[in-house]
Amino acid sequence: MSQNSAPRYPLVLVPGMLGFIRLVFYPYWYGIVEALRRGDAVVFAVQVSPINSNEVRGEQLLARIDEIVRETGAAKVNLIGHSQGALTARYAAAKRPDLVASVTSVAGPNHGSELADHLHRHYPHDSVRGRLLTGLLRIVSALICWLDTGYRGPKLPVDIHGSHHSLTTEGVALFNQRYPQGLPESWGGHGPEEVSGVRYYSWSGTLQPGKTDRGRNLFDGTSRYCRLFARTFVRERENCDGMVGRYSSHLGTVIGDEYPLDHFDIVNQSLGLLGKGAEPVRLFVEHAARLNAAGL
């Protein structure tokens, strides 16, 4: 990405559930922030509650956006959200479209996740299995907060039940009633390109066959987990990245929905150990140029 293709407004990267900025030395957006900054883009990787509802995370993001516009002098920001981070970004844009130039959903469960539906059915929060899962998530969340060397703000609240409900098909349907900006009118279609002055984009991946080609590498452990998670899917079992369905991810202008990338590889969380045809960093660099071309 050349200097002339850097976006006009800062890029704000919003992580998904159990997200972080940097665990000790390991960044959530592995290699992506550096690649964008090499093209002179102004980039902020931010942190919100690792486990909480879309609305709570969205309010935290709005507070961070206020800080960024004051710090940079920019009038607006471009939001790029991974997984639940996409819903977080959508909330912020719906509430303060004057501060947001664009929202980009990267593997966002914009119509809910069938994995969350499966957990809701088989691990209800008031059951023994549900309480065990809740305990495990509390431990993981606490570890993330403790090990996140990229975040220096106040302690962030945790709401496991609120987070889980925010990701189910039913929960996201309620969220979409309140904040429909960018959503397609028909299943699998494109949504409006612009709403209230905010541009909407999305891209996502799908699990591919084979072990070393088209996005799966023998040293890429996340692919094994995602293939296991994919077994919980019904409607989009053959069209998902392990955690989010191909068509469920659609928002605004759909840049692509069949990239050979699982839910973690799409933000390069496998230390770059990806198979043939998988280039997640390139997708972000190209998108920065796309935002620049749109005057954003």
* Positive or negative: CA dihedral 48, 49, 55, 60: negative
Predicted pLDDT at 134 = 80
Instruction: Using pLDDT thresholds of 50, 70 and 90, give the confidence band for residue 210.
Output: low
Burial 37-56 (b: 16+ CB within 10 A, else e): eebebbbbbbbbbbbbbbbb
Question: Alpha-carbon distance 171 to 188, whole Å?
Answer: 19
Predicted pLDDT at 160 = 82
Predicted pLDDT at 275 = 64
**Residue 19 backbone phi and psi in degrees, to 5:** -85, 170
pLDDT average, residue stretch 166-190: 94
Predicted pLDDT at 155 = 84
Residue with tokens 């150990």: 273
Residue 83 is a catalytic residue: yes
Tens-place pLDDT, residues 105-130: 999 999 999 998 888 888 877 787 77
Domain count, the chain: 1
* Closest CA relative to residue 44, chosen from 24, 70, 5: 70
Predicted pLDDT at 167 = 92
Residue 263 is a catalytic residue: yes
Strands 253-259, 26-27: pairing is: unpaired
Predicted pLDDT at 146 = 84
Predicted pLDDT at 128 = 79
Distance of CA 114 to CAs 63, 110, 121, 264, 283, Å?
A: 31, 12, 11, 17, 25
Predicted pLDDT at 212 = 44
Q: What is the CATH number of the domain that holds 115?
A: 3.40.50.1820
Question: Alpha-carbon distance 111 to 48, whole Å?
Answer: 21
Residue among 220, 241, 257, 265 flagged as catalytic: 241
Predicted pLDDT at 96 = 96
Tens-place pLDDT, residues 133-166: 788 878 888 888 888 777 888 888 888 888 888 8
Lowest mean pLDDT among 15-24, 40-49, 168-177: 15-24
Tens-place pLDDT, residues 25-72: 888 999 999 999 998 999 999 999 999 999 999 999 999 999 999 999
pLDDT average, residue stretch 231-258: 93
Predicted pLDDT at 156 = 85
pLDDT average, residue stretch 77-90: 97
* Closest CA relative to residue 262, chosen from 232, 242, 248: 242
The tokens describing 110, both together, are 């914009």
Residue with tokens 């935002």: 291
Residue among 49, 53, 83, 202 flagged as catalytic: 83
The tokens describing 201, both together, are 């984009």
Residue 223 has pLDDT above 90, yes or no: no
104, 204 contact by CB (below 8 A): no
Residue among 263, 265, 270, 287 flagged as catalytic: 263
Residue 274 has pLDDT above 90, yes or no: no
Residue 202 has pLDDT above 70, yes or no: yes
Q: Which domain holds residue 259?
A: 3-293
Predicted pLDDT at 158 = 83
